[in-house]
């Protein structure tokens, strides 16, 4: 019992002082010999319960485990930082929504859904934010890059996996939109109504038109849906 208590205190200290989430594999290396991940997981569950009701909680996200302020406390902590969180254009948020809910997708897929060209700056913004990344290439002429979301994207949303993403129409990202878009409903809600591709169940075959051109842009056989 005393040994388990010591192990729990070590885990607690590591998580409280870490600047990023720690995985089970990383936490097991705190000990010599390394502990089994199942034991680590059990102790973390107990530690999470022990912190229940406090202003800080132990949470599991995609990259591992971390201590974080509870959602109702975070607005007060935000007052300590004079820097405002970055705001993103509607085009950036629409592109992110498409990647998140229809991944993996090519640039051509995104353009077919949005009905407009996707600028390199939009892709670069999302890559610089570490929300999307290239995970491979589609085996079509030109082998266009396939984009998917990252663990950082899930971590920033406080999620463990993509399965926890809320229904598209329920998302509210207005706090991330640049004015004057901020008062509007999240761009993804419009996207859900305007896009037959996003209405298709994940994994179902989707007709994006003709094969992608070498630059990764789709050649739709019919005019793509346009957002208003």
Which of 197, 176, 198, 200 minimizes the C-alpha distance to 186?
176
Using DSSP's 3-state secondary structure scheme, residue 136 falls into strand
Per-residue pLDDT at 173: 52
pLDDT attached to residue 216:
39
All domains in the chain, ordered by first residue: 2-78 (1.10.10.10), 90-199 (1.10.10.10)
The tens place of each residue's pLDDT in the chain, 228 residues long, gives 678 899 999 999 999 999 899 999 999 999 999 999 999 999 999 999 999 999 999 999 999 999 999 999 988 988 887 777 778 888 999 999 999 999 999 999 999 998 999 999 999 999 999 999 999 999 999 999 999 999 999 999 889 999 998 876 655 555 554 554 433 334 344 444 334 334 433 333 333 333 344 333 333 333 333 333
C-alpha 103/C-alpha 202 separation (Å) is 9
**Distance between CA atoms of residues 46 and 21, nearest Å:** 18
Quick check: 197 and 105 in contact, CB under 8 A?
A: no
């Amino acid at each position: 019992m005393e040994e388990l208590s010591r192990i729990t205190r070590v885990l607690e200290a590591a998580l409280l002082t870490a600047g990023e989430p720690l995985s089970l594999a990383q936490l097991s290396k705190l000990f010599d010999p390394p502990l089994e991940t199942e034991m680590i997981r059990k102790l973390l569950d107990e530690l999470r319960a022990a912190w229940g009701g406090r202003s800080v909680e132990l949470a599991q996200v995609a990259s591992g485990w971390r201590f974080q302020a509870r959602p109702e406390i975070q607005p007060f902590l935000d007052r300590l930082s004079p820097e405002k969180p970055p705001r993103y254009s509607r085009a950036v948020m629409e592109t992110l929504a498409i990647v998140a809910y229809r991944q993996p997708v090519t640039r051509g897929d995104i353009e077919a859904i949005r009905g407009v060209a996707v600028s390199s700056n939009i892709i670069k913004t999302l890559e610089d934010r570490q929300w999307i990344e290239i995970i491979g290439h589609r085996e079509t002429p030109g082998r266009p890059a396939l984009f998917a979301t990252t663990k950082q994207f899930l971590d920033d949303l406080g999620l463990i996996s993509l399965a926890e993403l809320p229904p598209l129409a329920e998302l509210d990202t207005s706090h991330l939109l640049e004015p004057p878009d901020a008062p509007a409903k999240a761009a993804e809600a419009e996207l859900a109504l305007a896009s037959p591709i996003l209405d298709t169940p994940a994994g179902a075959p989707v007709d994006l038109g003709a094969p992608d051109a070498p630059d990764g842009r789709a050649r739709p056989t019919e005019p793509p849906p346009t957002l208003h």
